[in-house]
């Protein structure tokens, strides 16, 4: 079968499953299988696939038909211009999480928002693949960055990404800040915030780690514990950047203000606070 013929057949199969981007999924799967960029597929449509490559690509299409995310099938996902290894042990990095990095870069030049910070210890809570903390370390190499997760399997993925991307970080198996031994200055947190009752959940979520997605109390239980721990442990003036659903941000802000936080920034999926406990 030629590249063009395989792509048409695979696209039709995926479209029959009502997947949102059947052609793109087919191209990514085949490009990964034959180890060429997608542009190669467009320029070599008449090239014959080997029987082995065809079998592997077909098996991957079957996984996609079962709603296994493409990132798990090919083993990586782009985040902030870098490739991160992923596995079913970690949440797949999402574009909305890039807003945390954008917000970090917006706030840090404002030295008035960071009184008294000297060591600049940054903690990525619930790090998963490590995409947030590693990206922050590469953008701000002067930071002492720690990747924290309660899953040893997730931290293994994060440590691999740190090695591949040349980021010098520490890792800690910990429930939020429980086993983190320092007082943090900057906290990035993409924690579970999905409520199981929400009716617009993608079928692909069934393949991602539930503990990284779902939380009680309308999706806010873990975020509230994070706010409490940071208020008790962080240095005065510390920054806390949280990702959540847009519908939750006002509730989070009210709760944070009860724990001596002042809101200093907001985007569609991100809210940022400064600890004002002097």
CATH code for the domain of 58? 1.10.8.10
Structure tokens at 97: 């999480």
163-183 pLDDT, tens digit per residue, is 999 999 999 999 999 999 999
Name residue, tokens 């936080």: 261
**What is the structure's pLDDT at 110?**
47
CATH code for the domain of 145? 3.40.50.150
**Do 106 and 59 reside in the same domain of the chain?**
no
**Do 117 and 182 reside in the same domain of the chain?**
yes
**Do 204 and 106 reside in the same domain of the chain?**
yes
Pairing between strand 144-149 and 170-173? Answer: parallel
**Do 96 and 220 reside in the same domain of the chain?**
yes
**Do 145 and 188 reside in the same domain of the chain?**
yes
**Do 154 and 266 reside in the same domain of the chain?**
yes
**Do 123 and 163 reside in the same domain of the chain?**
yes
Residue 200: burial class (beta carbons within 10 Å; 0-12, 13-18, 19+)? exposed
**Do 150 and 245 reside in the same domain of the chain?**
yes
What range does the domain containing 114 cover? 89-275
The DSSP code for 189 is E
Work out whether the CA dihedral 132, 138, 142, 144 comes out positive or negative: positive
- Indicate whether 76 pLDDT > 90: yes
Specify if 72 maps to a domain.
no
**What is the structure's pLDDT at 113?**
46
**What is the structure's pLDDT at 197?**
84
The dihedrals phi and psi of 12, each to the nearest 5 degrees, come to -65, -40
Give the end-to-end CA distance of the chain in Å, rounded to a whole number.
69
Total of domains in the chain: 2
* Single pTM value for the model: 0.90
């Amino acid at each position: 079968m030629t590249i063009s013929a395989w792509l048409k057949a695979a696209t039709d199969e995926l479209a029959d499953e009502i997947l949102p981007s059947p052609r793109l999924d087919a191209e990514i799967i085949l490009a990964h299988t034959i180890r060429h960029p997608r542009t190669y597929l467009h320029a070599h449509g008449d090239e014959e696939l080997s029987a082995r490559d065809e079998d592997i690509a077909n098996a991957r299409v079957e996984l996609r038909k079962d709603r296994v995310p493409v990132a798990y099938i090919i083993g990586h996902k782009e985040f902030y211009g870098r490739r991160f290894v992923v596995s079913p042990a970690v949440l797949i990095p999402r574009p909305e999480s890039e807003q945390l990095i954008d917000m970090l870069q917006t706030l840090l030049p404002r030295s008035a928002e960071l009184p008294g910070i000297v060591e600049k210890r940054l903690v990525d809570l619930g790090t998963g693949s490590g995409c947030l903390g590693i990206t922050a370390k590469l953008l701000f190499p002067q930071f002492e960055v720690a990747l924290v997760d309660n899953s040893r399997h997730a931290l293994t993925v994060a440590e691999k990404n740190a090695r591949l991307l040349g980021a010098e970080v520490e890792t800690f198996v910990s429930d939020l800040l429980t086993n983190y031994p320092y007082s943090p200055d900057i906290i990035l947190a993409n924690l579970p915030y999905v409520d199981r009752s929400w009716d617009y959940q993608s079928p692909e979520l069934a393949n991602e780690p539930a503990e990284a997605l779902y939380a009680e109390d309308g999706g806010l239980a873990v975020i509230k514990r994070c706010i409490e721990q940071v208020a008790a442990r962080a240095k005065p003036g510390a920054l806390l950047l949280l990702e959540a659903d847009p519908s939750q941000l006002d509730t989070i802000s009210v709760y944070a203000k009860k724990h001596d936080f002042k809101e200093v920034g907001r985007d569609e999926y991100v809210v940022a606070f400064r600890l004002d406990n002097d």
